[in-house]
Amino acid sequence: MIDAPPRTSPTRQRGAGLLRLIGIFKLLKGVFLIAAAVSAFKLIHKNLADVIVEWQHRLHIAPGNAIVERLLEKALTVNQRQLMLVGIVLLAYAAMFTVEGIGLLLLKHWAEWMTVITTSGLIPFEIYEMVHKPSTLKALAMMINVAVAIYLVIHVRREVAERQQRRGAANPT
């Protein structure tokens, strides 16, 4: 009896757990962005300053708090059109992350490439943000994104090399 060739490459089998973990991470980002978009849409017909003051009271933050004061200053400059745009952009990113996440959970090759391209494409913006407004959270997010992109590039290249090697072995000249 002849053994059938494996349907998935050894690299794909070894990396399945990590690919699915990245997929779950992408899905969580998508869910978070959907929640943020819904929040932005809910704020469209409200007075942002009133909402901030209401949350200040709910969270028992003392009047005159510097963070609350800055938020109130910024709230005065935000209009309904900007909130709508923020909500739409957040939904677009949520859709992208959700598609990536589902594709990675299903171990789809296209999802690996999509994730490499989208994750790598966002890194320059993260670098810009780090230069102008550095923070530990931004640095951590950027490191995770760089690590994911590097891992996926290496993973996809190994998979392509294995596929070419199997083709070469199956079709000796």
Distances in Å between the Cα of 67 and the Cα atoms of 53, 135, 161 are 12, 16, 53
**Domain co-membership, 84 together with 141:** no
**pLDDT in 10s for each residue of the chain, 173 residues:** 444 444 555 656 667 888 999 999 999 999 999 999 999 999 999 988 888 889 889 998 888 889 889 988 888 888 999 999 999 999 999 999 999 999 999 999 899 999 999 988 888 998 999 899 999 998 998 898 899 889 888 988 888 888 888 777 767 65
The residue type of 8 is T
pLDDT of residue 75: 86
Total domain count, the chain: 2
Using CA atoms, how far apart are residues 5 and 171, in angstroms rounded to an integer?
A: 14
Distances in Å between the Cα of 125 and the Cα atoms of 15, 84, 89, 111, 149 are 28, 22, 15, 22, 15
127-124-25-94 Cα dihedral, nearest 10 degrees: 120
In a domain, residue 9? The reply is no
**Domain co-membership, 20 together with 88:** yes
pTM listed for this prediction: 0.75
In a domain, residue 30? The reply is yes
**Domain co-membership, 75 together with 128:** no
Give SS3 for 158.
helix
**Structural domain for 115, as ranges:** 108-165
Burial of 40 (0-12, 13-18, 19+ CB in 10 A): buried
Q: Which residues contact 109 (CB under 8 A, 6 or more apart)?
A: 156, 159
pLDDT of residue 108: 93
